A and B are shown apart, each in its own frame.
Chain A
Amino acid sequence: MRIRDWIESDDKERILEEVLRKAKKNEYNEFITVNENVFISKDSLKGLPVAIKDNISTKGIETTCASLILRGYVPPYDAHVVELLKNAEASIIGKTNMDEFAMGTTSETSYFGVVRNPWDKKRVAGGSSGGSAAAVAGGVVPVALGSDTGGSVRCPASFCGIVGLKPTYGAVSRYGLIAYANSLEQIGVFANTVEDVALIYNIIKGKDERDATSQDSEDVFPLNEDPRKIRVGVPREYFGEGVDEGVEREVWKAIKLMEDLGAEYEEISMKYTKYALPAYYIIAMSEASSNLARYDGIRYGLRFEEDEDFETTISKIRAKGFGEEVKRRILLGTYALSKGYYGRYYLKALKVRRLIKEEFDRVLSKFDVLVTPTMPFTAPKIGEIKDPLSLYMADVNTVPVNLAGVPAVSVPCGFSKALPVGMQIIGKRFNERRLLEIARWYEVNSKVRRWS
């Protein structure tokens, strides 16, 4: 479904009923909570059904981050993005499934079970915003919000064959986004087309006094339909070891198509790329170890019948309430921040981040965009990748973008063995407009097949 279908429809009530019916059916296990008290209006955008990832605070609607520890937590306030969507009179259809606390690449770490890929229900939808991607790709809703700390919007967009935008760090207020790694993450948008992504992004972006890292940026809607003089950089390191042949083939096909359409491209090297993954995981886990300290069951969330002393009580709650992957990251992050290790790990990771940031800014001063495969492979089967390190490796092409803080969008660019392949287009800081114009230009000209 596209936003235009909604706008042009004469019977919005019927569409909304259909949306709710599908959401409740939960065919892909994409929803954790369905909001049946949605607002219905028949004018233009009003009432547009939107799904929200379950790590974004929604007043009066249970928000769990797909974790047992937050079971029963009903926030008393709306995230800034939710306020803005409500001001635009969108309908919050429900809260989507995800990796627990956004820690994962396949949405398999959810307490509520794995999200299924609409293209093949035996496969994962990607993570961590798997439910949002599946809800859009499966035709349940036209748009959904996710969050992207190391690829959590772009990865499921790629696996599910839809468009997913991770904006510039600071372009969208994080107020109300339940933090996993504050210095890396951004709220992002899923839709079937770049135009729909742009429309929703334009509503949620901008400075918010409650997020000191947020700032204003140029409007992106409506998009200029004919961007000219496009210069594309193709960093070699992103086509390295571990990238599937089929993925590499489809992305190169896309680059050649852009060339045929008048763009210039150049292969380049970004030598700090190989340090991105370890730096990313150290920073993300360190921040996570601190962010997740507040979940002790004392004020909200999981609580047992009988309490003991403070330490015993919270230890039991945290032992039961957090899943394996979350515990792993809390432990590793705690270790990295400990006395004697802080300089060796955390400070060094910050230095690497600075170098990566500088490298991106340097390269992006010569090109409009960089193009890479979003993910090194297509959606794996549920349970196929068990070793956590192999899963971390899958983020190799997405995490440098979060370290640099620049915007990137994943757009479908073809198929490998009947599964969608995503192409990552990386843009300049706070220039989402140019990024989305180029993405849309490619999208319109490539005519890659869609799910619905």
Chain B
Amino acid sequence: MRVLIGLEVHVQLNKLKTKMFCGTPTSYQHAPPNTHVCPVCLGLPGAMPTINMKAVEAAVKVALALNAKVQENTMFYRKNYFYPDLPRGFQISQYDFPIGKDGYVIIDGDEGEKKVRIKRVHMEEDPGRLVHVGRIDKAKYTLIDYNRSGMPLLEIVTEPDMNSPKEARAFVSKLRTILEYLDVFDGSLEGAMRVDANVSIEGGSRVEIKNISSFRGVEKALAFEITRQKNLLRRGQQAKMETRHFDESQEITVSLRVKEEESDYRYFPEPDLPPMNLKGWTERIKAELPELPDARRERLIAQYGISVEHAKVLTGERVLADYFEKVASKTSPKLAATWIADVLKGELNYRDMRIEGCFSPENMVELLELLEKDLISDKAAVMIIRRMLDEGGRPKEIMEKEGLQKIKEDILPGVVESVIEENEKAVRDYLSGKREAINYLVGQVMKKVRGRADASKVYNLLERRLNEIDNN
């Protein structure tokens, strides 16, 4: 049974300084409710919207980065509906003539690379935020915070080209990467990206899931929904065409309303905003477009000779790729790729940290130099990375302070000798055929040198010495 998934992704252009249709600053995160507002974004009688052309520029950037055709003649419409978070009783949005049409994004699909088609990209304003006092269905009252009202928003609509929850997640994650490369979007802010998903099992009705606000949520909501629909089919029932709400805490979808007919938003052109002509914008902005993730991945592979897997991880975040390139320019790129993509990224994820909060590339270079000069073991290097993330400091300092430098190899035979003398029983066990006893002896040597030797070297030394004893 083939599953078809299409997404509508709402993205706040939260790197812009001002809102979509007024001069109010966008920096409302952590501000007290209803302090980032003005007559325009509060929809006060008589206040008029004007277009933030920086937002239009950002929208063109996004459309181009998604390989969409930018519409030279574009305009705003009113989408009319009543909701308390909507202070004008209509949302200024786009309808006919959206800013971008017919694009695509390449993702890592279930069966290799896959093209997800983008139907349209359009600009609109965010409504305010409702805070229900208590649970949504039992709340006594609801508070409204209009700080978010009028935030510049892009709606990106895909064709139903994804066939699994994993592919849907890959799409939103790729989209986020692209938006961050364009420097129009900060995905770490609350509510920066919200996803509505349409899902159907081939031949069945389409179900819309609203209110998904994390990558994990996309996968969870879709997995739950697909199982639900398959179970219905198994019992000989059909999924109804309906809108469902994703409950993030319980990881389930619940029915909001069954769609009798499509709602009528009575779209008509916004009379206060004359249509725009963007002649020449595509060429100008295309020329200024930064290197995008796919192009950068190819370049990193070609320029530094690193593996495809490493290149994918590194280009998954623009700042991570920047970090890598800074390190790679001063030391072995392959070593840098391994240590940043495999080790550092893992340690960051474990700490729920982003690369922005990490120690400097210079420190990473210093650490890799210690490794290259064979002054520390891999294990010690990992310890140093952890120490730097948790407490700060520089690699050499930490190495010296903690005595992590490798010991001189010529003292190892002496240590091996003393361990053999001190552990007669284990030696006897080994010589009588219990070969695994050697592991205990390796451990004892490592303990004496406080982990600063290669365990495999110690093993070899011990094995050779014990065999000598055996032969005598």
Contacts and interface: CB of A to CB of B under 8 A. Distances in A.
A69 B425 CA distance: 96
A75 B46 contact: yes
A77 B45 CA distance: 10
A334 B264 CA distance: 10
A298 B144 contact: yes
Given A77-B44, A287-B268, 20 more contacts: A55-B46, A57-B45, A57-B46, A65-B45, A175-B48, A176-B46, A179-B46, A210-B50, A212-B49, A212-B50, A289-B266, A290-B268, A294-B43, A294-B45, A294-B89, A299-B43, A300-B44, A314-B82, A337-B266, A342-B268
A254 B52 CA distance: 50
A221 to B, nearest CB: 26
B78 interface: yes
B271 interface: yes
Given A293-B82, A338-B264, A76 B43 contact: no
Given A212-B50, A339-B264, A63 B45 contact: yes
Interface string B317-332: 0000000000000000
- Top 5 nearest A-B pairs (CB, nearest first) are A293-B89, A183-B271, A182-B271, A337-B266, A57-B46
Nearest to B44: A75
A93 B80 CA distance: 37
Given A298-B84, A299-B87, A337-B266, A290 B78 contact: yes
A177 interface: yes
A339 B266 CA distance: 7
Contact of A175 (B46, B84, B267, B274): B46
B336 interface: no
Contact size class for A?
A: 35 or more
B42 interface: yes
Contacts of B78: 290
Contacts of B82: 293, 296, 311, 314
B87 A294 contact: yes
15 contacts: A63-B45, A75-B46, A76-B44, A176-B46, A176-B47, A177-B46, A210-B50, A213-B272, A213-B274, A290-B78, A296-B82, A300-B44, A310-B142, A337-B80, A342-B267
Contacts of B346: none
Interface in A317-375: 334, 337-339, 342, 346
B268 A210 contact: no
Given A290-B78, A339-B264, A342-B266, A73 B45 contact: yes
Interface string A290-316: 101111101110000001001100100
Given A296-B89, A314-B82, A337-B268, A175 B47 contact: yes
A294 B85 CA distance: 11
B209 to A, nearest CB: 23
A178 B39 CA distance: 12
A346 B45 contact: no
Interface string A173-195: 01111110111000000000000
Interface in A150-183: 174-179, 181-183
A70 interface: yes
B89 A174 contact: no
Contacts of A289: 80, 266
B39 A77 contact: yes
A322 B273 CA distance: 27
B375 interface: no
B89 A290 contact: yes
A211 interface: yes
A209 interface: yes
B166 interface: no
A178 B46 contact: yes
A293 B90 contact: yes
Nearest to A209: B50
A79 interface: yes
B51 interface: yes
A39 B50 CA distance: 32
Interface residues of B, number: 32
A346 B80 CA distance: 15
Nearest to A170: B274
Interface string A37-59: 00000000000000000011100
Interface string B136-164: 00000110100000000000000000000
A286 interface: yes
A211 B22 CA distance: 11
Contacts of B48: 174-175, 210-212
B54 to A, nearest CB: 15
A289 B88 CA distance: 12
Contacts of A211: 48, 50, 272
A146 B51 CA distance: 27
Contacts of A292: 89
Interface in B40-84: 40, 42-51, 78, 80, 82-84
Interface in B77-104: 78, 80, 82-84, 87-90
Given A178-B46, A293-B80, A212 B266 contact: no
Nearest to B83: A310
Nearest to B146: A299
A181 B87 CA distance: 18
A175 B42 CA distance: 14
Interface string A267-305: 000000000000000000011011011111011100000
Interface centre among B42, B47, B51, B87 (most CB of A within 10 A): B47
A295 B39 CA distance: 14
Contacts of B83: 310
Nearest to A181: B271
Interface string B250-293: 00000000000000101110011110000000000000000000
A79 B46 CA distance: 8
A183 B267 CA distance: 16
Interface in A60-100: 63, 65, 70, 73, 75-77, 79
Nearest to B261: A339
Given A70-B45, A290-B90, A298-B144, A212 B274 contact: yes
Nearest to A340: B264
Contacts of A338: 264, 266
Interface in B170-223: none
